[in-house]
């Protein structure tokens, strides 16, 4: 797979590692928003495995474990022989956490946004963050203007190299496209969430499209079946949040997605890929600006996911056949 050149002149494979899970256990109003049973040493090994396979784009957020994910990334960078300048570190701000790491609310005022950026710099132990995105998905555009003013101010101060918005609202995603430094959008995108309108908009605006949940929270790896035991209300997958669309209210994988996977399974693995590599290859084939961000919890997951670097995008012929099948879904 060919490398891309980013907004600040860096070169990297067009894929990154998502580190939400590395934040660990977390809650918001009593509902789980993080992952239990996370081991920091395993997270570090996972990051190093990704680095060894060529990954240089790292995605995180100030709210993942109240910044714990950022701290783990800082440790991995310090341990690595790879120069910091080779990495593209991307984080998000807008959600704030208490001392225990639990989310306490959403914020859009300039002083808080600038303070969050400073906190990210401190936890990541870097002088500049390559990309910062606004984390509030459906925030009103008019109330978001001050956030991007803060981003512009931080960019002028040299604290960040670029900025964008993590949103699934097409209008919002492109509302600030003319601001110098506005370079990227992060949005849901996978075989189960095609997001064609968003992709057209970001492509037209010449924005990088970072793909959130490109493996549908693991459904597209094949590790879940109709017989998977529901995870329950104490697990993020059974949290009941509106955006938790791949699992039902009890934490069981949604059967309609499993049925769709059965229809495309043979096709996306036809050239020898794993299911995960096929699903990520689909994301890569959908455009030259897509950057899938699969989450990884273990070195084995990292090896599987980032094996796609060797395969690259799915072929034009396979994509045509997939399009025909997916018309029914």
Continuous H helices in 252-307: 255-268, 275-285, 299-305
Residue 200 — left, alpha, or beta (φ > 0 → left; ψ -120 to 50 → alpha)?
alpha
How far is Cα 56 from Cα 160, in angstroms, rounded to an integer? 17
pTM of the model: 0.98
Helix, strand, coil content of the chain in percent (nearest 5):
40, 20, 40
Q: Which domains does the chain have, with CATH numbers?
A: 3-326 (3.20.20.100)
For residue range 100-151, list pLDDT tens digits in order.
999 999 999 999 999 999 999 999 999 999 999 999 999 999 999 999 999 9
Full pLDDT tens readout for the chain, 329 residues: 999 999 999 999 999 999 999 999 999 999 999 999 999 999 999 999 999 999 999 999 999 999 999 999 999 999 999 999 999 999 999 999 999 999 999 999 999 999 999 999 999 999 999 999 999 999 999 999 999 999 999 999 999 999 999 999 999 999 999 999 999 999 999 999 999 999 999 999 999 999 999 999 999 999 999 999 999 999 999 998 988 999 999 999 999 999 999 999 999 999 999 999 999 999 999 999 999 999 999 999 999 999 999 999 999 999 999 999 988 87
């Amino acid at each position: 797979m060919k490398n891309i050149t980013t907004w600040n002149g860096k070169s990297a494979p067009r894929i990154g590692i998502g580190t939400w899970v590395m934040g660990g256990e977390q809650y918001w109003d009593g509902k789980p928003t993080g992952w239990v049973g996370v081991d920091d040493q395993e997270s570090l090994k996972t990051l190093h495995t990704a680095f060894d396979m060529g990954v240089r784009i790292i995605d995180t957020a100030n709210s993942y474990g109240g910044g714990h994910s950022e701290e783990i990334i800082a440790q991995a960078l310090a341990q690595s022989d790879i120069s910091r300048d080779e990495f593209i570190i991307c984080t998000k701000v807008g959600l704030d956490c208490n001392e225990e790491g639990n989310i306490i609310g959403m914020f859009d005022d300039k002083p808080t946004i600038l303070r969050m950026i400073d906190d990210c710099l401190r936890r990541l132990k870097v002088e500049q963050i390559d990309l910062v995105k606004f984390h509030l998905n459906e925030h009103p555009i008019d109330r978001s203007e001050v956030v991007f003013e803060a981003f512009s101010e931080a960019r002028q101060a040299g604290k960040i190299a670029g900025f964008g918005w993590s949103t699934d609202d097409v209008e919002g995603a492109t509302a600030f496209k003319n601001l110098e430094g506005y370079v990227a959008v992060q949005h849901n995108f996978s075989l189960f969430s095609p997001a064609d309108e968003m992709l057209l908009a970001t492509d037209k605006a010449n924005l990088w499209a970072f793909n959130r949940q490109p493996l549908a929270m693991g459904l597209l790896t094949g590790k879940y079946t109709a017989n998977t035991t529901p995870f329950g209300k104490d697990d993020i997958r059974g949290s009941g949040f509106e955006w938790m669309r791949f699992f039902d209210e009890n934490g069981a994988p949604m059967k309609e997605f499993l049925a769709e996977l059965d229809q495309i399974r043979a096709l996306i693995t036809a050239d020898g890929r794993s299911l995960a590599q096929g699903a990520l290859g689909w994301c890569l084939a959908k455009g030259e600006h897509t950057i899938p961000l699969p989450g990884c919890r273990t070195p084995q997951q990292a090896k599987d996911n980032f094996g796609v670097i060797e395969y690259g995008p799915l072929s034009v012929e396979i994509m045509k056949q997939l399009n025909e099948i997916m018309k029914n879904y």
